[in-house]
Structure 1
């Protein structure tokens, strides 16, 4: 199969696209993949590192207020459509898959106008502007959350497939996760992660609650601060942890996150769609502090989807303090029955075969398109 992937700006758009590409390559060895993204986004660095051919177009997103820059954005969009058509005619894809971010707008739109089968994937409960626009033109939509299905009524083929990033945890090795942290297998530990770049508000709350960590006997804590916050956060946490200092591990980042997450007793962190897909596929209970600085406040909607199902606890950032966070952690880690209920609820939401389901949708869409 010849596939064009597009989506970018953040890892939340890029990694689902790459996961879909991996599934296609695994199912159909010898498949050819081209990624079309923006030279301004993270995809310009991440995709070539995966050995995937990459082409860029110049495009920016719309501002949410009246602005002359929006006129320039329309012009860039039209130029992006022209450039995309040139790339698509040269590559001759069987399918074009978009995973959100403004860059996939002109690419998927151009493909639809050329009669190429198209699919978009929406990671969040609340669809982004680009996917809302594209839903009128594409042949299929796959969504991560069931609440999103009614929001894509104009598309003929909509499925609740989950997030394809969930598929990458299928082979997670919890024994390797314990070993990478220097912990004995079976050690209960709380994993606190502020996202790939870290989260100052979460790190500050961890520092505030550090003096109370010793109150939970036998529980280890793994704090992933983000590289930019690491030195200051590590020093402050270790200084405040007092008698529990030997049960605290502070890291700037984790390279084998699926393994570590598989071993974790409780996850504490942001509510990005890709991370939640992994958390639920593994059945890990969670405490979620959604970032308030994202489009459409979509992380809060993501977090509420888990909290409403009993799989997680939602704390809004404006309510986050060290005491509040520790009370929630202690309430879960000191109550095995509650933790098990949350784990079962989390696993019930998990869709580890998401990438496979999306692959089947692609096959169906191609078949319908070429039979017309």
Structure 2
């Protein structure tokens, strides 16, 4: 069996970091790592996540270009060239068989440096709309792994593209129903919907839930409402105490290890980030997506449309979001086993429960070459 010396780089957001971590985890499960090094930035989210996982971590200094022509961009350009030099030094010392980039500015320098040193390179694009870094790197890498088939239109180098799905999907697919609803004073036997606005929460979603709590409290199904830590105290102040103790409602600031609860849910309502979609479709869970309109190139809307196209999810734009519309959309699905089954089957058709293994096959193929 091939054992790899691998450098992985990705940073800035969890959407870039968690797929990288899922890939490393799967390589370790298959005993396919001789050594692994993660290259990120000192102040990025990756520095906390990667070091906490006990993975060797080195940093380079880099930042993104400003959208307007400014003097700052000259500094950024100089920093980019300097970071390529630092990346080359790291690569020469580590001697990897392959280098993988999962997005974010940091991966641009690391992967490009590996290319100039004639080391096999792969990038992974999680969204339907490719990020600036991956579009740049697409010209130089050996393979472009994509999580959405729609993303292939973002790259001119069609011969390099391979559809693997998102490694987070395989991580989620392995999770079984585990009665974790008991942790939130809910019954594992009752149908449950979870509504959340991402790790930080989203005020428009929170407002809509607050406005519809009376309806949810009378429903035949259960609801977990995840406000986001920064919003929780404000939400609690705005709602009637009776909803805090309603037997079919649980209001939480955040859920640690959230994927563990997914198999116990009949419906998920929230943002349409790439990681969420990978997990949801791997498990075949119906969804109502409320795409964030604040992300670059509105890629969450494009992500949501890709999943909704075959009936696996509904889309409720934030601009149209009200408490009444939210409840009506949720109850339509939660009160119909037929709709749930159809959406679940459609979701499983899209899901890639062996995404990590598919990506690993790409890596080993390049190394053998």
Q: TM-score, normalised by structure 1?
A: 0.95
Q: Does 1:144 align with 2:165?
A: no
How far apart are the structure 2 equivalents of 1:132 and 1:216?
A: 47
How far apart are the structure 1 equivalents of 2:214 and 2:263?
A: 27
Q: 2:223 is paired with a residue of what secondary structure? A: strand
Q: 1:59 is paired with a residue of what secondary structure? A: coil
Residue 135 of structure 1 contacts residue 155 of structure 1 at CA under 8 Å; is this kept in 2?
Answer: no
CA drift at 1:278: 0.4
Aligned CA-pair RMSD: 1.6
CA drift at 1:179: 3.2
How far apart are the structure 2 equivalents of 1:110 and 1:256?
A: 35
| Other-structure match for 1:363 | 364
Relative distance call for 1:9 and 1:86 in structure 2 (3 A) is same
Q: TM-score, normalised by structure 2?
A: 0.95
State the aligned residue count: 366
How far apart are the structure 1 equivalents of 2:186 and 2:96?
A: 47
CA drift at 1:215: 4.1
Q: How does 1:8-47 map to 2 (within 5 A)?
A: 8-47=11-50
How far apart are the structure 1 equivalents of 2:255 and 2:349?
A: 26
How far apart are the structure 2 equivalents of 1:321 and 1:101?
A: 34
How far apart are the structure 2 equivalents of 1:100 and 1:34?
A: 16
| Other-structure match for 1:344 | 345
Residue 140 of structure 1 contacts residue 155 of structure 1 at CA under 8 Å; is this kept in 2?
Answer: no
How far apart are the structure 2 equivalents of 1:21 and 1:81?
A: 23
Flag structure 1 segments of 5+ consecutive residues without an equivalent. Answer: none
Q: How does 1:156-195 map to 2 (within 5 A)?
A: 156-195=159-198
| Other-structure match for 2:56 | 53
CA drift at 1:235: 4.2
How far apart are the structure 2 equivalents of 1:204 and 1:240?
A: 17
| Other-structure match for 1:229 | 231
Q: How does 1:46-85 map to 2 (within 5 A)?
A: 46-85=49-88
CA drift at 1:62: 1.4
| Other-structure match for 1:333 | 334
1:114 to 98, 117, 122: 117
How far apart are the structure 2 equivalents of 1:30 and 1:346?
A: 32
Q: 1:175 is paired with a residue of what secondary structure? A: coil
| Other-structure match for 1:201 | 204
Residue 25 of structure 1 contacts residue 31 of structure 1 at CA under 8 Å; is this kept in 2?
Answer: no
Q: How does 1:205-216 map to 2 (within 5 A)?
A: 205-216=208-219
CA drift at 1:145: 0.4
Residue 281 of structure 1 contacts residue 347 of structure 1 at CA under 8 Å; is this kept in 2?
Answer: yes
How far apart are the structure 2 equivalents of 1:19 and 1:214?
A: 37
How far apart are the structure 1 equivalents of 2:363 and 2:183?
A: 37
Relative distance call for 1:39 and 1:155 in structure 2 (3 A) is farther
How far apart are the structure 1 equivalents of 2:262 and 2:187?
A: 15
Residue 292 of structure 2 contacts residue 318 of structure 2 at CA under 8 Å; is this kept in 1?
Answer: yes
